[in-house]
A and B are shown apart, each in its own frame.
Chain A
Amino acid sequence: QQPVQSPQAVILREGEDAVINCSSSKALYSVHWYRQKHGEAPVFLMILLKGGEQKGHEKISASFNEKKQQSSLYLTASQLSYSGTYFCGITNNAGNMLTFGGGTRLMVKP
């Protein structure tokens, strides 16, 4: 079943922070985060495997709450280059078949 992402869209000014959530109705095994610029391929950001784990990638980090079946992506001090659509992909077992959420469109303005 497709995970639910929220919000669907967000507009930020440069330097502001944002949080994107990804919720599943089933138990999570892993959560992947990708960013896609318009008309381009999705680019891998990070994978989270354990409950409560937090990972970071420059000023972008994520948490994985196994109990809540939810992951959150944190973008701090946003830059213009952060604009794009962010997708979470989840797996419910050890395999690598991802089910993607509907995406969150992020726009960072000067």
Chain B
Amino acid sequence: DGGITQSPKYLFRKEGQNVTLSCEQNLNHDAMYWYRQDPGQGLRLIYYSQIVNDFQKGDIAEGYSVSREKKESFPLTVTSAQKNPTAFYLCASSVDRGRIQPQHFGDGTRLSIL
């Protein structure tokens, strides 16, 4: 079955530490996205990528970094510069860029500060 796999499900970060959240899709989708969700809030776009080796900042990119070296993978690094990283992180993908398509979501990673 095709889908989006996020790992780990739960992650704890120490002060001053960078952590990387994994997102892999086998849907053959071109576009991938990272969202942050705080309790009781909507989804806010961190970064998105419409094609391999290219990505753009979303609304809240500060303190985060991404890479897109392979079509199926879009890892997110939460750096020590992100002072309030505790949140639910969702990865999504859609068929291609520039067209209106549904976004398919992974099951998310819950990040907390130790």
Indicate whether A and B interact. yes
Which residues on A are within 8 Å of B, measured CB to CB? 2, 29-30, 32, 39-44, 47, 49, 87, 89, 91, 94-103
The majority secondary structure among interface residues of chain A is loop
If A42-B90, A96-B94, A96-B98 touch, whether A102 touches B106 (CB-CB below 8 Å) is no
Which residues on B are within 8 Å of A, measured CB to CB? 31, 35, 40-45, 48, 58-59, 90, 94, 97-108
The majority secondary structure among interface residues of chain B is loop
Q: Which of B31, B41, B58, B100 touches A103 (beta carbons < 8 Å)? A: B41
A29 to B41 Cα, complex, angstroms: 23
A–B complex contacts, Cβ < 8 Å, 11 sampled: A29-B100, A32-B103, A41-B90, A41-B106, A42-B105, A47-B100, A96-B99, A96-B100, A97-B45, A98-B103, A100-B35
User: Which residues of chain A are near B97, meaning CB under 8 Å?
Assistant: 95-96
